[in-house]
A and B are shown apart, each in its own frame.
Chain A
Amino acid sequence: MLGISIFNGLVYGSLLIICASGLAMIYGLRRVVNFAHGALYMLGAYIGYTLSLYLNIWFALLLAPLAMGMIGVLLDKAVFRPLQERDPLSVLLVTFGLLLVIEDLVRAFWGRGSLSIEVPALLADSIELFGNPTPLYRLAVIGLGVGSMVLIWAWLRFSRTGLYVRAASTDPLTTAMMGVNTERVNALVVGVGTALAGLAGVAAAPMLSLAPSMGADVLVDSFVVVVIGGLGSLGGALISAILLGQVQSFGTIYLPGLSAVLPFLMMIAILIWRPSGLAGNRV
């Protein structure tokens, strides 16, 4: 029982961290609270659905995030960059408008009904883990979460572009004065962040059914993760995503009446205790 709870918490936590890290990165560089992030997650899942019909799910997992990355770069060039001098509130409201537009576009292309993606045959089996049958696909999702976090960490820590990203998130002006093209760094990061939202969408698709409104829950949970972790902090987001996954998973078993409310109570408590989140202002 305990094993299953921890395991399920980790699966959900992995999805959340993939999605929320994109949100945190976009906030870290652009100072934009992206309300359309849930809609981008949903769009990623639908693009993945179409790709899995024509090719297969492996291509979907690879190509859908790539397509979303391009959409992200476009988003940065068309929306975030022209509006960077505006106050953060108006940009937030613009992304709120984008959310409505994207949801309706998806409805127009894919219809209102719910769709589903088959679990790939290679991962359709279950294996015995801690004495419980465990679907391989869920295990793979955890792997994906860990893998993408390690990749992002390595990218930020060891590559030259990663260095630019870290520099630009600390002080964009000084970074630009050192000769770094911060606009390109920003576009890249928004692209990567959007790709991560798409990746989470495709990865979640075989476990849930696809519906145009599926982005809302993930958006709200990702916000909780990002706010608890400290806006713009990846490390904080990682810790709070794992925490939130466990809280939800254990909450449904031990406090069924409260489980849905627990993440929000946690967020309220942490915001009042530390208004800038667990990680403070560090990136």
Chain B
Amino acid sequence: MLHFKYLLWLAVGVLLPQLVGSATLMSLLTQSLIYALFALGVGILLRQCGLVSFGHAAFFGISGYSVALLMRDLELGAASAIVLTLVALAIVAFLLGLVVSRIPGIAFGMLTLAIGQTVYLSALKSRETLGGADGLNINWPSSIFGLDVRLFYDPASMFVISWVVMLVTIYLLDRLFRSRFGSITSAIRDNEERARFIGLHVMLPKAVVYALSAVVSGLAGVLSAIYTGFISPETLHWSVSGTALIMTILGGVRYLWGPILGAIFYFFVKEYVGELTDYWMAMLGAVVIFIVVFAPNGVSGLLMQLQERRQKRKQDVIVRRMEVRS
């Protein structure tokens, strides 16, 4: 049943580009999907650990830079550069996670903000290796993982690729968080002290979730670097982390697909409200406030609530009918 659902969603993703006529809409969807994966990275940290990161743009941007450097300076192939980057990112983020996740709640947010800005400013200053404020153009080979590189540049095919990556990521994360590991991290999130009292190791799981969220964001960074063929310090700025956080909040984190929905919602507000008025950021801010105050589980939470209510009504009708019959 679970697998059937994923297959259904896969079919939706493959068919969607065929149905979308407009090229602007297609590139909008592709862009929002890449950012959706980024927001998912931020979201799992919030969902499993209750930690808000203001510095995930660092992982998003670093992965692009790292792939570019590995290909340029070490002359690695694209696939090995990407795999090596993600593995290295996981290790670095795990070690970093061991240190930073000891810092509670709000100070954690500030710390990630500081780390993120350190990375941003370092990339901005590094003119020789990283190209300073101009960033780097990435010379991708003609094929990546056996796929023609043109497939990655075209919004419609890139949409399908990102969609598949996203589905696989959600599937794996879902399996992981439904396992014992997921219960342990939720227990630590809800009450760290009690979790320690019942004999759980609290630092390690937090660091693992931190590393996972970094890798997911890094994966999005790699997709973005392939899609645009370009990486600049702008992707490292804290406002980018803030954007990913807004998407996460808009979508809600109770369900793994919440941040995905949030990212799509964000880009549509930006595109269509942005056309109506220059002040779409204010609108977005107002929406964020509204959602945090009145719908803490975001748009995904609202949708699920609606569905539950409808199901309950259906059940009520059935029960009433049975009562009438008896």
Binding site for B on A (CB under 8 A): 33, 83, 88-90, 92-94, 96-101, 103-105, 107-108, 216, 220, 223-224, 227, 231, 257, 260-261, 263-265, 267-268, 271-272, 275-277
| Given A92-B109, A100-B285, A101-B285, A264-B292 contact (CB < 8 Å) | no
Q: Which residues of A contact B122 (CB under 8 A)?
A: 261
Q: Which residues of B contact A264 (CB under 8 A)?
A: 114-115, 117-118, 121
Cβ–Cβ contact A97 & B110, under 8 A:
no
Q: How far is the CA of A29 from the CA of B279 in the complex (A)?
A: 33
Q: How far is the CA of A107 from the CA of B285 in the complex (A)?
A: 14
Q: Which residues of B contact A276 (CB under 8 A)?
A: 107
| Given A220-B113, A267-B114, A268-B118, A92-B52 contact (CB < 8 Å) | yes
Q: How far is the CA of A279 from the CA of B203 in the complex (A)?
A: 25
Q: How far is the CA of A224 from the CA of B54 in the complex (A)?
A: 14
Interface string of B191-234 (1 = CB under 8 A from A): 00000000000000000000000000000000000000000000
B105 within 8 Å of A (CB atoms): yes
- In angstroms, how far is the closest chain B Cβ from the Cβ of A280? 13
Cβ–Cβ contact A105 & B282, under 8 A:
yes
- In angstroms, how far is the closest chain A Cβ from the Cβ of B185? 17
Q: How far is the CA of A12 from the CA of B187 in the complex (A)?
A: 45
Q: Which residues of A contact B284 (CB under 8 A)?
A: 97, 100
- In angstroms, how far is the closest chain A Cβ from the Cβ of B75? 28
Q: Which residues of B contact A100 (CB under 8 A)?
A: 281-282, 284-285, 288
Cβ–Cβ contact B118 & A99, under 8 A:
no
Cβ–Cβ contact B113 & A268, under 8 A:
no
Cβ–Cβ contact B282 & A101, under 8 A:
yes
- Among A89, A97, A220, chain B packs the most CB atoms within 10 A around the CB of A97
Cβ–Cβ contact B288 & A260, under 8 A:
no
Cβ–Cβ contact A97 & B286, under 8 A:
yes
Count of chain B residues with a beta carbon within 8 Å of a chain A beta carbon: 40
Q: How far is the CA of A267 from the CA of B109 in the complex (A)?
A: 12
Cβ–Cβ contact B293 & A83, under 8 A:
yes
- In angstroms, how far is the closest chain A Cβ from the Cβ of B249? 6
Q: Which residues of A contact B115 (CB under 8 A)?
A: 264, 268
Chain B, range 94-127, C-beta contacts under 8 Å to A: 99, 102-107, 109-111, 113-115, 117-118, 121-122, 124-125
Cβ–Cβ contact A89 & B105, under 8 A:
yes
Residue in B104, B110, B118, B293 whose beta carbon sits within 8 Å of that of A261 in the complex: B118
Q: Which residues of A contact B159 (CB under 8 A)?
A: none
Interface string of B244-270 (1 = CB under 8 A from A): 011001000000000000000000000
Q: How far is the CA of A98 from the CA of B107 in the complex (A)?
A: 20
Residue of A nearest to B104 (CB): A275
Cβ–Cβ contact A104 & B281, under 8 A:
yes
Cβ–Cβ contact B292 & A265, under 8 A:
no
Q: Which residues of A contact B113 (CB under 8 A)?
A: 220, 223
B296 within 8 Å of A (CB atoms): yes
- In angstroms, how far is the closest chain B Cβ from the Cβ of A248? 12
B242 within 8 Å of A (CB atoms): yes
Cβ–Cβ contact B105 & A88, under 8 A:
yes
Cβ–Cβ contact A220 & B238, under 8 A:
yes
Cβ–Cβ contact B279 & A108, under 8 A:
yes
Q: What are 29 A-B pairs at a CB distance below 8 A?
A: A88-B105, A89-B105, A92-B109, A93-B245, A96-B246, A96-B285, A97-B288, A97-B292, A100-B281, A103-B281, A104-B281, A104-B282, A107-B279, A216-B238, A220-B117, A223-B110, A223-B113, A223-B114, A224-B110, A224-B114, A227-B107, A231-B106, A260-B121, A260-B125, A261-B121, A261-B125, A268-B111, A272-B103, A275-B104
Q: Which residues of B contact A105 (CB under 8 A)?
A: 279, 282
Residue of A nearest to B46 (CB): A89
Q: How far is the CA of A224 from the CA of B114 in the complex (A)?
A: 8
